Structure 1
């Protein structure tokens, strides 16, 4: 390219000498001279050939012409050019350096382009002319050309996918990558399935490839000590070896860590060697041990070196010799000791339960498998994974890539769940063990824009079951503190990386607008987006349209903390969950760490986890997808050694999950990346400013949830429900719930968290009862959830949940009653007429406590609700109806039993409950000597009745002395087999100080002769049959009632003193 070409193009700008450096560059880049790209690196121009440059002192420097614009110049392109507005050329001194002239505009130039040019504003050239006799060469470097070969679209996509797989960050990906991502993912389970099936087929067949007999029975009646079930969640590396007819895994293989592992849910090897059991299974176990030893089930080892940790190596040695015709040499080696390497010479390591007590046992086992050592674990029995023993089986299983659920193993499992008794072909066995074909099928369906299926998607559809199974393993990983992306090696846990990234790619398009399962493609991608989740990443794609009624879209705009906060959390009991007081904002990572155990000395050994929300019910997506299928996060372990990350696409209140903590203590956390929301913590001092801040957050409606925390319970409810239920005074709202819901229930139940009245305490001393001991501790903290009910409109349990906000109404005290009612108020028994269970059962018994709460609410606040919960007028009418038959004696009792107690807890429950309240009235009159019953006397009766219930149930009547039995009136009993109605009769008689036999006879209750003998041993006076009448729908107005004294045992009854219509 020649000089004339350059400058002729420059001159076309019509700016004469008044132009910017950027203009020159732009003109040069826009030249139409084709020889630019072929020119030499330096183009020499003569001063005489070109117009004079602005004030740029070259000082022998070479300006470099770049094809990229600076930021400021880029902005200036937006303005219309006007010469009068042109900025003065900056003073760029070369000083033997090469100024870079970029085609990207600087910020200042970008802004200037918005102004219209005005020639009068153009900068003037004030420089003195230079000596023109000396030639001046302006050496300009040609635009830099990127000589790197362009990356193809395929290579670019490959790079994006590899980067996403390595980092767990789907933002590297583009929408068009989904198909490639899915196609690549399909190949992984395909190839692994072939490997698994080959291993399993070789173990389950003989030398002629004929199927071996798979019969195996480890039921509790077939073997001593029972067994434990084995989880094979890692479908890529776990292979069920022996599955019972019902599908329970009794033994499993593991190829995790590129190793070979074998686990049995009981010591089948020991059964064979010591007790000659499991004859049919010997050949399969022998093949499995060949595979563990050498990787080939058909090659018999000649000599094997074995070691053991808390397992009798001689049993293994004998099995090798007797059933495999192989020599097994026991190596005396402590393979778990970190300071030796004798384990390297060992072929197979056998483990027993107590190997889990060795330091770093899980990690050590993983190292054995990585080194190619065979690992075999034979569990001892049903107790092998009890929490109180340290979850030994799971500790060992995890090292092999397997897992075991905490608890009592298969202790309660029936025989059918623990045996293989039906004949299976090899094909059937391989099919039963195959969990990878399901993943291939799901991924294939996802890769089809219009997938077809034989049946509408439902909870039992194979695709849905597969998604749930794979989702569960991601949960297992997270809850073990692991992530699929924690290794920089993308081959590690690769299939799980693919699944998580696919979910990330589908999530931005999710809209929870009641999508039906018939819309297969949309429903399937939504279900995947909600299921394949890793909550331990810095990056997780968001839901631009929000998470339905769980979390509004606006929540993502809530700012999060950029600095560390120190937060103190009250721990109400030794284990459970509690609110932290901070929020997870959707797709915003939270860093969290426990402050060192030095600061948390009371909880130095506590096991702590963090999660979002504590929910039991989330709705059913198959009835219309209107919210995430499981919006609460996995429960992630946290400690004082490392920062943990929690990142949820759904967000939610942060919850601390704790175990082995100190009740009543506090735990201090450091948190960054969370946000404040409408949380009210009344377990700690709270200021008006904090209340106002929470209320302002609530009223903004940006965050989906409101929470309250107070002694004895907490509340979690969606914002719309909270605004409706709470009113304008959060303090009063919480005080009312504490007073009328929790305290009323706990007082009536006699729990020791409520201070006992001095008079009651004195009476306890008189009775010889311990009314404040640990047996009377309040139950676990009660959690109330206002969002979705697990059953009905409100549903009992812990948490108790509902389709409404939390308040002091009937529903919540009713459900709390379900959780806390004692058996002494479950007045249920077999009908004397037909043997069916009748009486005051579920939905009746719990309402004793609910009705007492409403009674106390009226007495303390004047709120008169549920005014006929104790229908005294109704039970009196039923007594009258029975008397009207003219029957007497036993026949009258049977008629009365049928009139009052027939049916279940839904039938006549108001009348049935009036019976217990009449005994409370009798206590007020006969023991307290009150003319009319009052709130204090009524609650004292129920409190003592429930206290007595717990004390009797705690007493071992097979060993108790006569004096101990006499305290409670159970002298005639030598076994703990007192029925509910007998216990009610005995304790009521003891508490009131009168034998209530005539009263219970009048009400038709079939009290046993043994109970009558017990009370007779107390030598109490016989109680008169009195009745305290209260008008219909005035059950809370105790002061309005009237006594009907000394009812006759037979014959007509006096009229009821109030209208009953």
Structure 2
């Protein structure tokens, strides 16, 4: 730690000295690169430093040193702009700075006179504006013909090598950049766009990262440097090491007192962690990379301190030094290495007993099923804390890139706001797997191993050779599990010695911590019947996804309508990941992954509610004047469909009401108002759709489903199956209108009067429902207070369907999910009493 602090101070002095030399005597720092620019941020702070930092904190240009070579990167097309007939004012003001930057690159001193001709070789950027600008500075310059982006010998005859975003997207460019710098050649990068281009290979060799899409296109004044900045202020902006040195000094103070409402000491810890993660993301072992002595020292210090950490007793109100040291040792971790040290336990992330598990000592080949083009999937093997894992690709199955990570989480807790009951950052990022050879991967915290994949073929099988891993409770029902495999996974769930369980299904994956595992649950029932059969299948049927077979009824209707109801158009959008450990928001939180502070269950409505958030279609989102069945209601239509289907198939009724009696009360009150025509419709709309009455709102979609069962399926009382058929057809129709619409087929969807598919949600629900049910539903929609456009009414009238009189299917309050227990009511002439 003492060596690291001294080294940080030395780097600060070196970087400040070079920057002060470049900007010595400069009076005007103003700069405005505009929207056609990107950031160029150092990711190795020990070799690269900001050159220009905007008032908004963005790095607009940076420099680095490798050996005797000096590199500079600008995030905008400064030379072409300067060479233009009328350069912008900020460019003219920046010209003296640029001259000193280039003098430093060429000679090592910013104030050196350049007497000889400067020979410029370029790739991905024209040498012409560079030569023009150099001449404008009073120097002699000429372009030389040399393809510096490919293997060559002519680079030795150049004095300045220039790259731009048009350089070939080939790793050899990075290798060549390092070669040029190591040989003492100045390398300049100029970015002439707001999009990323191919420059990252060059930037990586300079120790920098290029800004991602869309660059600074929407950054506005955030990327400007206003006039009035002093040299002292500028040196403070570019200082990467001062705050780190302060934090390192605090880490050595056994008597540290600190109020953690001031989080300033954590910033430098996170900055260094971000750099270490970048090395991991490139598969680089920091201990074999140049200019990383500071990183190595801090990683070794973290290894030394980590065994002292005890999660649980730690908190920000306790000894400040223990808290700070735990934060640092948790953060300074490299995964692309063989050796690391671990704490005695990992809190609620991983039990202490996991460290006693024996890693495999012989390599095995495992098969990993791939569900989509890109994503993350559990491989069924785990990493033990502190023990190295060896992974090798046997068959990539055509995937363009593969990587390894622990877990697939989005929240890991925050010691500054939560109790410090687990490592601050227990999971890794993605570490790429080499196309040949072995990846060494080590984590001090352990965890289930996940394969990250890109450019893959859905349904393919990747083969990996693994060693140093452990089997844990993993169920993979994307393939046929043997009885032995199921027995082993169940036994591991009962032992709970690894701390996690993972489950793979068609369309979904689950991971949860040991405390949420129902170790005595029958795996086949829990996984196949409840998770897949109830949770995922119900959602996928209601959404009309093509991974679920169509019922005979749905297939017949699709055929009669000429609809394309299967194939890739109706493919489930993504594999849905669920995590039972910590929730990113509330108790359960939607997203992908969706997470919660509870085990992942297949029969409760909570997880189907979250899955509904991620899959609900607009035909279920009905609103008027910003109110109605919107977010937190529309997704619950899918959850209620799950509950209805679940009761019929496995006899479990978890409630999740669709309040039909309350909906009927609104109808009665509306009829008693004495209003007629549009006034009556708007009165019902105010009662139902603007009072946050979610349960009766959701009942409307189910009343439409019951009409389908009566008139399309010809059922005396609705069945669950026919009701689900309605949702299947409704959501398939929604997708067809959105993705398969043209002027020639709009009549297939009942949309003959619409010029395009920009149709309001109420109109879409009305027209599709009328088409699917085979009745003109204008009276039904008026009864529910749903206002419709004349175009929608005329489109349905063109179908020549019988106009359906007002009617209602009554269900007892306690039997909303038991849909065959109700009674049809005729409301066309009178308003009967509710029968329950």
* TM band (smaller chain): over 0.9
Q: Go from structure 1 to structure 2 and tell me whether the alpha carbon gap of 1:755 and 1:495 turns closer, same or farther (over 3 Å shift).
A: same
Alpha-carbon separation, structure 2, partners of 1:942 and 1:468:
48
Alpha-carbon separation, structure 2, partners of 1:406 and 1:978:
35
Q: TM-score, normalised by structure 1?
A: 0.76
SS at match of 1:579: strand
2:34 is matched with which residue?
Answer: 218
Q: Go from structure 1 to structure 2 and tell me whether the alpha carbon gap of 1:1016 and 1:397 turns closer, same or farther (over 3 Å shift).
A: farther
Deviations 1:742-798 (A, max 9, x none): 111001101111111233223212222211132211121111111111111111111
Q: Go from structure 1 to structure 2 and tell me whether the alpha carbon gap of 1:557 and 1:407 turns closer, same or farther (over 3 Å shift).
A: same
Alignment of 1:691-840 (within 5 A): 691-723=486-518, 727-735=520-528, 736-808=530-602, 809-830=604-625, 837-840=626-629
2:718 is matched with which residue?
Answer: 933
Indicate whether 1:197 and 2:13 are aligned: no
1:541 to partner: Cα distance: 0.9
Alpha-carbon separation, structure 2, partners of 1:457 and 1:531:
19
Alpha-carbon separation, structure 1, partners of 2:656 and 2:757:
38
Indicate whether 1:188 and 2:4 are aligned: no
Indicate whether 1:969 and 2:750 are aligned: yes
Indicate whether 1:259 and 2:44 are aligned: no
Indicate whether 1:984 and 2:769 are aligned: no
2:149 is matched with which residue?
Answer: 336
Alignment of 1:98-247 (within 5 A): 182-205=1-24, 209-219=25-35, 226-247=36-57
1:358 to partner: Cα distance: 4.4
1:866 is matched with which residue?
Answer: 655
Deviations 1:904-958 (A, max 9, x none): xxx21111100111111112222222222112211111111111111212246xx
- The equivalent position to 2:260 in structure 1, one of 447, 456, 459, is 456
Alpha-carbon separation, structure 1, partners of 2:659 and 2:113:
81
SS at match of 1:1044: strand
- The equivalent position to 1:397 in structure 2, one of 203, 214, 236, is 203
Alpha-carbon separation, structure 1, partners of 2:102 and 2:751:
60
Indicate whether 1:542 and 2:342 are aligned: yes
SS at match of 1:231: strand
Indicate whether 1:346 and 2:158 are aligned: yes
2:685 is matched with which residue?
Answer: 897
Indicate whether 1:532 and 2:326 are aligned: no
* Segment drifting more, 568-577 vs 967-976: 967-976
Alpha-carbon separation, structure 1, partners of 2:334 and 2:311:
21
1:477 is matched with which residue?
Answer: 279
1:1022 to partner: Cα distance: 2.2
Indicate whether 1:511 and 2:323 are aligned: no
- The equivalent position to 1:887 in structure 2, one of 648, 670, 675, is 675
* Segment drifting more, 478-487 vs 254-263: 254-263
Alpha-carbon separation, structure 2, partners of 1:972 and 1:321:
67
Q: Go from structure 1 to structure 2 and tell me whether the alpha carbon gap of 1:284 and 1:875 turns closer, same or farther (over 3 Å shift).
A: farther
SS at match of 1:1033: helix
1:1054 is matched with which residue?
Answer: 832
1:351 to partner: Cα distance: 1.1
Alpha-carbon separation, structure 2, partners of 1:422 and 1:989:
65
Q: Is the 8 A contact 2:30 2:224 kept in 1?
A: no
SS at match of 2:42: coil
Alpha-carbon separation, structure 1, partners of 2:613 and 2:357:
39
Alpha-carbon separation, structure 2, partners of 1:998 and 1:300:
88
SS at match of 2:311: coil
Alignment of 1:606-621 (within 5 A): 606-621=400-415
Q: Is the 8 A contact 1:238 1:256 kept in 2?
A: no
SS at match of 2:471: coil
Quick one: higher RCO (CA 8 Å, sep 6+), 1 or 2? 2
1:204 to partner: Cα distance: 3.6
Q: Is the 8 A contact 1:212 1:283 kept in 2?
A: no
Alpha-carbon separation, structure 2, partners of 1:480 and 1:1044:
67
Alpha-carbon separation, structure 2, partners of 1:254 and 1:239:
6
Q: Go from structure 1 to structure 2 and tell me whether the alpha carbon gap of 1:769 and 1:649 turns closer, same or farther (over 3 Å shift).
A: same
Deviations 1:667-719 (A, max 9, x none): 11111111111112222322222222222222222211111122221211111
1:251 to partner: Cα distance: 2.2
Task: Figure out how many residues of one structure are paired with residues of the other and give that number.
Answer: 828
Alpha-carbon separation, structure 1, partners of 2:216 and 2:67:
28
Q: Go from structure 1 to structure 2 and tell me whether the alpha carbon gap of 1:493 and 1:1003 turns closer, same or farther (over 3 Å shift).
A: same
Q: TM-score, normalised by structure 2?
A: 0.95
Q: Is the 8 A contact 2:40 2:60 kept in 1?
A: yes
1:476 to partner: Cα distance: 0.3
Alpha-carbon separation, structure 2, partners of 1:929 and 1:361:
69
Indicate whether 1:363 and 2:151 are aligned: no
Q: Is the 8 A contact 1:829 1:981 kept in 2?
A: no
1:128 is matched with which residue?
Answer: none
Stretches of structure 2 lacking an aligned partner (at least 5 in a row): none
1:319 to partner: Cα distance: 1.1
Q: Go from structure 1 to structure 2 and tell me whether the alpha carbon gap of 1:666 and 1:839 turns closer, same or farther (over 3 Å shift).
A: same
Q: Is the 8 A contact 1:823 1:980 kept in 2?
A: yes
Alpha-carbon separation, structure 1, partners of 2:755 and 2:102:
54
Alpha-carbon separation, structure 1, partners of 2:520 and 2:29:
70
SS at match of 2:516: helix
Indicate whether 1:1021 and 2:802 are aligned: yes
Q: Is the 8 A contact 1:356 1:396 kept in 2?
A: no
Q: Go from structure 1 to structure 2 and tell me whether the alpha carbon gap of 1:210 and 1:310 turns closer, same or farther (over 3 Å shift).
A: closer
1:151 is matched with which residue?
Answer: none
Stretches of structure 1 lacking an aligned partner (at least 5 in a row): 1-181, 220-225, 386-391, 831-836
Indicate whether 1:434 and 2:234 are aligned: no
Alpha-carbon separation, structure 2, partners of 1:395 and 1:999:
63
Q: Is the 8 A contact 1:924 1:938 kept in 2?
A: yes
1:406 to partner: Cα distance: 4.7
2:695 is matched with which residue?
Answer: 910
Q: Is the 8 A contact 1:879 1:899 kept in 2?
A: no
Q: Go from structure 1 to structure 2 and tell me whether the alpha carbon gap of 1:300 and 1:882 turns closer, same or farther (over 3 Å shift).
A: farther
Indicate whether 1:678 and 2:473 are aligned: yes
SS at match of 1:714: strand
Alpha-carbon separation, structure 1, partners of 2:670 and 2:22:
74
Alpha-carbon separation, structure 1, partners of 2:689 and 2:521:
45
Alpha-carbon separation, structure 2, partners of 1:970 and 1:218:
46
Deviations 1:476-526 (A, max 9, x none): 001101122125xxx741000111011111101000014222331010000
1:651 is matched with which residue?
Answer: 446
